[in-house]
Amino acid sequence: MILKLIVFAVIFYAVYRLVGGKFPKLSGKIKDHLPKSEDKKKIEEDTLIECDKCGTYVTYKESIIVKGKAYCSKECAGF
Q: What is the mean pLDDT of each run of 10 residues along the chain (79 residues)?
A: 92 83 55 59 79 92 89 90
Give dist(CA 49, CA 69) in Å, integer. Answer: 10
Give dist(CA 10, CA 40) in Å, integer. Answer: 45
Range of the domain at 46: 2-77
Per-residue pLDDT, 30: 47
Question: Count of CB atoms within 10 A of residue 74's CB?
Answer: 10
Radius of gyration of the chain (CA): 26
Whether 73 contacts 64, CB under 8 Å? yes
The total number of structural domains in the chain stands at: 1
Give the CA distances from residue 42 to residues 1, 38, 55, 65, 79, in Å, rounded to whole numbers and listed in that order.
57, 6, 23, 18, 28
Per-residue pLDDT, 39: 62
